[in-house]
Structure 1
Amino acid sequence: MAEPGSGDERVVYGGSVAGQDEPGQDEPGSVLLAGHDVPLGRYTTVRRLLPHRRRRMVGAWCFVDHFGPDDVSGRPGMQIAPHPHTGLQTVTWLADGEILHADSLGSVQPIVPGQLNLMTSGHGIAHSEQSPPDHPPVMHGLQLWVALPEEARHGPPRFEHHAALPVLREGGASVTVVVGEVDGQRSPARVHSPLLGAEVRFGRAGGLVVPVEPGFETAALVMRGSARIAGSTLEPGALLYLGRGRPGIEVEAAAGARVFLLGGEPFAEPLVMWWNFVGRTHEEIVRARADWAAGAARFGTVTACEEEPLPAPAMPTVRLKARDRHGGSA
């Protein structure tokens, strides 16, 4: 990592950097993707940042929800009953609060800030996510999905919890390597494509450059405060897509700011994403839905949760199309 230089003073407005809507392989640019609110369960609303109509993926990252900070004192907090997943990994990262994960492998794992829950669905898994009865008064975090490549998506499910992750420090900033590698420090999380996920926290005002692989697509979101990232000012509620070709991401912020960086090798396989399933064809999604509705062994049972499993919504009346990372049909 290094201190930032003078930075690129371009201004993001109207959804993209003036004069450049779609960055090229070796011509870094920025596209601002505004999130939208989505109810999640009975008590939680999230800001969905990805997929977006202008950018469906960043590397293999195919889904990003930012929730909170919410005052959940005297309230149930997050209460999401058992539900299925296929073809993806879920990454849960908290800034505040506590969530209890339970899955059909028999895993029961509380997660608190600074720790990582990584669930790999493979061909099928089910899990629940619930705030415990004695949860802290504030809930704030991210849930992200990683699309599994063809060679990994039909495999068996698994769950990992990592209580300790590599942390790099520079000046008043710290960088936690959640997934992948930063400056020689590698996360123990097992992923199936070249990927980066890192949180930058500012104990005092300052800046740094977080090195990234130049071939990666990259993006950034602000969890708390505001930050100037690659020359653009960013606040919570949007994802800043930074394109490819950057050897590092410049981040400057005031004390207390929290920034999450995403990156990865461009994902070449078109995807069909519907409800909690990531597949390749309409027929695959139909089959997964039918298996969940029938209680098939493929997804197992979340025995540690007393809530009834979530029913799958009705399939759309039109055929689901596979789309590439830009949002175009395959």
Structure 2
Amino acid sequence: MSPSDLGEQLKPFVFLDLFAGDMRLLQHAMPLHPHSGIATVTVFTEGDVIYDDPQAGTGTLGFGGVEWMRAGGGVWHGKELTAGESARIQGYQLWVALPPGLENGPVESQYVEANATPQAGPARVILGSHAGATSPVRSPDGIVYLLVQLVPGERWSFKPAAGHRVGWFAVAKGAVDAGRTVKRGQMAIFADGEDAMLFEADASDGATFVVGAAVPHDHPLFLGYYSVHTSAEALAAGEQRIAELGARLAEAGDRRTGSGNVPVFR
């Protein structure tokens, strides 16, 4: 999903990428790059990585662990996570379009380890609240994002909260029947409304997938290369801030930590 295609239909959810591979190679290939106007949400469905941030501490993100980065007015990142013990990782990166009051606001990073991600039945609550469980991530109101793991043949339903008329899911492993079969690497959109979403995992392999539901983002999308804003003026301010940070970043020199990562540059 990109802001120029399904993101327009599913906003505030505007970008989704399923990534997988050797974290050592992925980190080497990923350049430092900027964002503004959005929050990035990285959740892991396989393997583990190390985070090391002077403002947020050091630890490990495994299955269900989350990196939340509110880019706000501007940030550079891309190398703040390094390889853990696993040979392979898999996960999703999601972009959430921020409301006008936050899109050019302060930057914030949170790293929530798996044991701190609340669980309700088969669902881990990545953002928002579900079935009495609330994520510690300080995301805007009106958004729910879940990581769900079903055993073979298991059935599960999710009822969006009142006003959460945007709904979708994407499969990381196995396959799910939600009225039609959705397989690994695919996503599906639910009709606009607040009806329950019904899921049945593949009878042989089960399924791991993410589900998003939200109050619609009633603002236009103004797109930069790595930025999403609600107006041309907000986009221009974000891109100006990114350029200023880029100049400072070039002057900062080697910022690698002892674990080999490069902290987020705010």
User: Which TM-score band applies after superposition, normalised by the shorter structure?
Assistant: 0.7 to 0.9
User: How has the CA–CA distance of structure 1 residues 85 and 299 changed in structure 2, closer, same or farther, with 3 Å as cutoff?
Assistant: farther
Identical counterparts, % of pairs: 23
Among candidates 108, 127, 143, match of residue 93 of structure 2: 143
The number of residues matched between the two structures is 253
Segments of structure 2 that go 5 or more residues without pairing to the other structure are none
User: How has the CA–CA distance of structure 1 residues 308 and 109 changed in structure 2, closer, same or farther, with 3 Å as cutoff?
Assistant: closer
Cα deviation, residue 207, structure 1: 0.3
TM-score with structure 1 setting the length: 0.67
Query: Within the alignment, does 1:162 sit opposite 2:141 as a pair?
Result: no
Partner of 2:158: 210
- Name the CA distance, whole Å, in 2 between partners of 1:54 and 1:76: 29
Letter in 1 for 2:169: A
Letter in 2 for 1:186: T
Q: Secondary structure at the match of 2:26?
A: coil
- Name the CA distance, whole Å, in 2 between partners of 1:207 and 1:63: 27
User: How has the CA–CA distance of structure 1 residues 296 and 237 changed in structure 2, closer, same or farther, with 3 Å as cutoff?
Assistant: same
User: How has the CA–CA distance of structure 1 residues 209 and 61 changed in structure 2, closer, same or farther, with 3 Å as cutoff?
Assistant: same
Contact 1:149 1:193 in 2 (8 A): no
Letter in 2 for 1:93: V
Partner of 1:238: 186
Partner of 1:120: 70
Partner of 1:259: 209
Cα deviation, residue 126, structure 1: 1.9
Structure with a larger share of its residues in helix: 2
Contact 2:56 2:109 in 1 (8 A): no
TM-score with structure 2 setting the length: 0.81
Q: Secondary structure at the match of 2:96?
A: strand
Among candidates 133, 136, 140, match of residue 185 of structure 1: 133
- Name the CA distance, whole Å, in 2 between partners of 1:300 and 1:205: 56
User: How has the CA–CA distance of structure 1 residues 60 and 134 changed in structure 2, closer, same or farther, with 3 Å as cutoff?
Assistant: closer
Q: Give 1 or 2 for the bigger CA radius of gyration.
A: 1
Query: Within the alignment, does 1:200 sit opposite 2:148 as a pair?
Result: yes
Contact 2:34 2:76 in 1 (8 A): yes
**Per-residue CA distance 1:101-143 (angstroms, 9 max, x = gap):** 5669676654222211111112122222366356522221100
User: How has the CA–CA distance of structure 1 residues 268 and 156 changed in structure 2, closer, same or farther, with 3 Å as cutoff?
Assistant: same
List aligned pairs for 1:1-330, cutoff 5 A. 49-51=1-3, 53=5, 55-68=7-20, 70=21, 72=22, 76-79=25-28, 80-101=30-51, 110-129=60-79, 132=82, 135-163=85-113, 164-169=116-121, 174-216=122-164, 217-229=166-178, 231-254=179-202, 255-282=205-232, 284-285=234-235, 288-294=238-244, 295-296=246-247, 303-304=255-256
Contact 1:82 1:307 in 2 (8 A): no
